[in-house]
Amino acid sequence: MILDADWAIRWMMAARQEVAAQRDYLIDLDRRIGDGDHGENLDRGFCRVGAVLEADPPSSVQGVLTVVAKTLMSTVGGAAGPLYGTAFLRAAKSCAVEPLTGAGVADLIAAALEGIQARGKAERGEKTMVDAWGPAADAARAAADAGLDGPAVLRAAADAAEEGARATEPMKATKGRASYLGERSIGHLDPGSASSAMILVQAARAAEEHR
């Protein structure tokens, strides 16, 4: 599978479908330790992303991810819009060479993580989406350094993101809205890490579809 604009568009269409399917689950997660708007916000954002990409599909990965960034920034409320927007904007800028190689995928995920941290000022272990993107970036780099191709690097990143999201459950939140709950944030998954893992899983699936 070549990681070109077609892949990036398939990724976003799959993300739209997955976020819609998991909307109520994300709302429920965010109700436990946040304000309950994460599922609705993301669903609105990715529906719009899908519509914009369908109406005028860009011809490069960079073009697709730039549209995603701008659309999410303008349609997703709360903290998630600026965080995902910055992630995809930095990811877009990292795409110097297309189609993406394994190293290109690692660069993309590292850039997204940097964007999230630049915007949200969170470190790992604070029960935020950084706890999904951080392990994903590490796993992607290790897989790329081991010589794996783009789709395999995406799969390594997606698996690490899912594991990272699960690992937020026993954490006490020290960043974001959930940190106001202190000890009561323990025992619940972080919604932003859960949606981040969903989105990265769709990136891998979109790359594996036509292998």
Q: Which residues bind Mg ion (CB under 5 A)?
A: 30, 34-35, 37-38, 78
In the complex with Mg ion, which residue's Cβ is closer, 7 or 46?
A: 46
In the complex with Mg ion, which residue's Cβ is closer, 5 or 26?
A: 26
Smallest distance from the beta carbon of 77 to Mg ion, in angstroms? 8
Smallest distance from the beta carbon of 45 to Mg ion, in angstroms? 13
In the complex with Mg ion, which residue's Cβ is closer, 35 or 54?
A: 35
Q: Using CB atoms, what's the residue nearest to Mg ion? A: 34
Smallest distance from the beta carbon of 30 to Mg ion, in angstroms? 5
In the complex with Mg ion, which residue's Cβ is closer, 37 or 159?
A: 37
Structure tokens at 143: 């897989």
Smallest distance from the beta carbon of 34 to Mg ion, in angstroms? 4
Smallest distance from the beta carbon of 49 to Mg ion, in angstroms? 19
From CA 96, how far away is CA 138, in angstroms rounded?
Answer: 20
In the complex with Mg ion, which residue's Cβ is closer, 62 or 75?
A: 75
